[in-house]
Structure 1
Amino acid sequence: MNFNPNIEIDIPAIAAKVPSVIFQLSAIESDYQLDYISDRDFGSTFEAFVDRIDPRDADRFRWSLKKAVDRAIDWQFEGRIESDSKWIQISAELTEIHQNKATFCGIIVDITKHKQIELDLRKSREKLIDSLSSQVAKLQQNQDLLKNIIDHTNASIFVKEYRNTNGSYILLNREFVQRFNFDRERDLGKTDLDLFDAETAKSFQTADRAALAAGVPIQIEELEPRGGEIRTSIVVKFPLFDDLGAFGIGGIATDITDLKRAKQVLEQANEELEHHVTERTAELVQRNQELETTLLRLNQTQTQLIQSEKMSGLGQLVAGIAHEINNPVNFIHGNLSYANTYTQDLIGLIRLYQKHYPSPAAEIQHTIDEIDLTFLINDIDSVFASMRTGTTRIQSIVQSLRSFSRLDEADLKTVDLHEGIEQTLTLLQHRIKSQKITVTKHYDTVAPIQCYAGQLNQVWMNLITNAIEALEGVEHRTIEIHTQQHTDQVEVRIRDTGTGITSNVRSRIFDPFFTTKPVGKGTGMGLAISYQTIVEQHQGAIDCYEVSPQGTEFVIKLPTFS
């Protein structure tokens, strides 16, 4: 069913004049909604409305409504109301179908007497006709009101018929007539070709046909020749439909010529202002960038000097401590073999005594039992083995400390890459064990490299320490270290299964003073110095990547020398 979207019906006003109950109902498939009803006794919702229907007629009530929705036809129903034992007649028109939504507007008429007394049928029909006539009169009143509104708006409004003519005007409001100095009675029925020059008429009709083809409203700018000048209007054109389909075009045009001129003047002034602002801003930005660059370099240089001084002092301190520890440890470790030999000699002597004097004096036997001589003899080897393990461990730590005491060395040296990594792991062993981290090493056979050993060791310390910190709070804690020899470089990959690094953080991770740690927990220089050490001092490369399903991998590439 087709309808006219331009006619607006004031339902509450009509309801006040009509003795029947007026309602509007919307349906989306089997979902119904009571949009309006003039009598609240029927309820304010569709469910409440259904509850008023007698159970004997409820199924037929729903079936009739579903039939109307499915077939897109008007809705008719007669039935009883449960509480009042009355008969009602529902007559509803399908006024709109939009996508899958159907809208019905109708009335509910009490036909109790009609059902009870067949003789009153004609009278009831006459009352119904009178009611409909009243509605028609109200509709006519609304149409007159709409025409009055159309004629008093500042926008020009028009309707053209295209089904049987080439766009004849069938409606022109007062503003349209005045704009073009037309005569409404004379010019109704004419086309654009009769009223405008050929170029303007062709432009107007091309836009009309575009709206007809689209089937929906379109908005365009049109140039209108008026009073010896060309004016600009913003025009909304929309297709009009009846039972047979689209029959014409409606349009609403608003003159925006003065607005566009004012906008052009304002835009020109803004462009000039923006040009001056841009020039001045560029000067300020350039000066600001120069100041920021200078300040950044000063801060970076200061931090690096402080860091270098710290590392130098730390190297001297560590070297001294390592030296002081190393001497007594070497003394102990060197004498362990002698002590073990002497002890074995004494144990052999004791066993010789036991062989020749199997029955010692009571006092000697008492002492043997008290000190558990057999246990002592059996356990002494384990004691010496543990002591050797301990001194060996101390010597390994001292050696690692000595390596890190070379932080202030200024000369390139040929070193074993794996040795520096192993010394770093030795110094961090207590943190690795306390967090129950599994360290997996995949070492390739790599050539020695020429490097600043102390500074490169600091890089390994920074990267492995970051990996340890990233594993805090993670269930599966693993650090993998891979080395691989390429033609002219060595590649080192340090991967962890930690919380990972987001892409926006990863893009800034090597910037000086950038840190994600809380205030006081980090300087933001560890990775910046590592980057400088690898890239600038060793002509290498360092990159950071995200690892699936979670984690981070740092890839370091260092040139090799024969």
Structure 2
Amino acid sequence: MELTNSHYAAVPVLTQNHRLGYLFAFANRRFGTPDEVEVLEAIADSLAIAISQSQLHGQIQEELKLLEEVLAKLRITEEHLVQSEKMTIIGQLTAEVAQKINNPINFIYGRLIHLNDYIKDLLSIIRLYREQYPEPVPRIAKKIETCDLDFISQELPQILNFLKIGADGIRQIVLALRKFSLPDEANKEHANVNESIDNILLLLAQRLEQKILVVKEYHNLPPIFCYPGQLSQVFASLIINAIDAVKSIENSAQIITIKTDIVEGYTGRFIVVSIAHNGSIIPPEIQQKIFDHSCPTKSFKNFTGLDLSVCYKIIVELHGGRLTVESPVQPQIKSKTGGGAEFRVKLPIV
């Protein structure tokens, strides 16, 4: 700066962070009496305090912003820990229940096979008796008529067959439940994605109901190195999402399409799982942040699966894959159902 006046005074200004400045006073006369210097020093001190307070306010604002970010991350971490702990506890309880059901149902299923053979033998002996003694004594003839032996002989094998089919169905459900609910080991293991999805569909059979058509287009996939339990949770959540979406459709077919395939990329081969539905679309503003922590799955009506941000973390961070969404789905754009949505999971084949 250029000093044009002939008389001026400079008083140092020392701020809290030790930055030295100067307060300049100009006059057309000669000045610098003790009283004037004292006033200038008081002004300089006040200015230094004001500058320090301003700097301190800025630091506080920055620290508050940083604190808010840390608290937000802590809340997200806490939610993930709670969700993880909840899923672990549920998985353990479900595995215990499945184990308790598995033992007696295996016992029943195994005994039904022998029971079926025994009853066949007994019915065969009864037929032989009727051939050898076509005219039974009155007491036996009366009992045969009362019991309707002919009806029992035809109905009993069918009942046993139905029991065997039912017991086998329960065994398959229990097996699928055990595979789905058992906690993952510390290390990854090889698993078949097609089998995992079929197990989930078996467990969700009640929710799928008869009016929901599930179209499966499976490619012959190699086993993938992964955390099977966590991948199953992701697929289950995406299928549940599709079920909730198609239930809003009226006067039209409710269709969920599940495809698996192998694709080649610059970095190797990948398994791609597509789970699509012809229900309502996902609005563009939600699509942009659908996998963010700030967009909880609670924004989707009746959604009961994992939070989509958790699904994203499992696919991307734990398995090095990709999770994307497209809505509306191109073939469905002109349909009466609104366009639907498609979630695609891409996993590297290791």
TM-score, length basis structure 1: 0.47
1:470 deviates by 0.7
Q: What residue number does 2:13 align with? A: none
User: CA offsets per residue over residues 380-415 of structure 1, 9 Å max, x none?
Assistant: 221121111111111111111111222343220111
> Is 1:448 aligned to residue 218 of structure 2?
no
Query: Does 1:378 pair with 2:154?
Result: yes
Who is 2:349 aligned against?
Answer: 560
Structure 1 position 513, deviation (Å): 4.9
Q: How does 1:94-493 map to 2 (within 5 A)?
A: 290-433=66-209, 436-474=211-249, 475-487=252-264, 488-493=269-274
Instruction: Output the CA distance in 1 between the equivalents of 2:287 and 2:121.
Output: 65
- Residue 501 of structure 1 deviates from its aligned partner by 0.6
- For 2:9, the equivalent position in structure 1 comes to none
Q: Identity over aligned residues, as a percent? A: 38
Q: Which amino acid aligns with 1:357?
A: Y
Of 495-504 and 402-411, more deviation after overlay is shown by 402-411
Structure 2 residue 280 is matched with structure 1 residue 499: yes
Amino acid at match of 2:169: R
State the alpha-carbon separation in 2 of the partners of residues 407 and 499 from structure 1. 34
Q: Which has the larger radius of gyration?
A: 1
* Higher normalized contact order (CA 8 Å, seq sep 6+, divided by chain length): 2
| 1:531 is aligned to 2:307 | no
Deviations along 1:401-430, whole A, 9 cap, x unmatched?
Answer: 111222343220111111111111111111
In structure 2, relative to structure 1, the CA distance for the partners of 1:429 and 1:513 (3 Å cut) is farther
Residue 360 of structure 1, CA deviation: 1.4
1:376 and 1:460, CA in 2 relative to 1: closer, same or farther beyond 3 A?
same
User: Aligned partners of 2:258 and 2:192: how far apart in 1?
Assistant: 15
Name the CA shift for 1:458/1:282 in 2 (closer, same or farther; >3 Å). farther
Q: 1:540·1:556 contact (CA, 8 Å) conserved in 2?
A: yes
**1:369 positional shift:** 2.0
- 1:473: how far off? 2.5
Cα deviation, residue 281, structure 1: 12
Q: Write the deviation string for residues 269-320 of structure 1: whole angstroms up to 9, x where unpaired.
A: xxxxxxxxxx999988865653443222111111111111112111221121
Q: Is the 8 A contact 1:513 1:523 kept in 2?
A: no
In angstroms, what is the RMSD of aligned CA positions?
Answer: 2.6
Unaligned residue ranges in structure 1 (runs of 5+)? 1-278
C-alpha contact (below 8 Å) 2:213/2:254 kept by paired residues: yes
Closer/same/farther in 2, CA of residues 494 and 285 from structure 1, 3 Å limit? farther
CA distance in 2, matches of 1:317, 1:333: 24
Distance change (3 Å), C-alpha of 1:288 and 1:540: farther
Cα offset for 1:483?
0.4
AA paired with 1:468? I
Number of residue pairs matched by the alignment: 282
Would you tell me which structure has more strand in proportion to its own residues? 1
Q: Distance in 1 between matches of 2:120 and 2:248?
A: 51
Q: State the Cα distance separating 1:454 from its structure 2 match.
A: 0.8
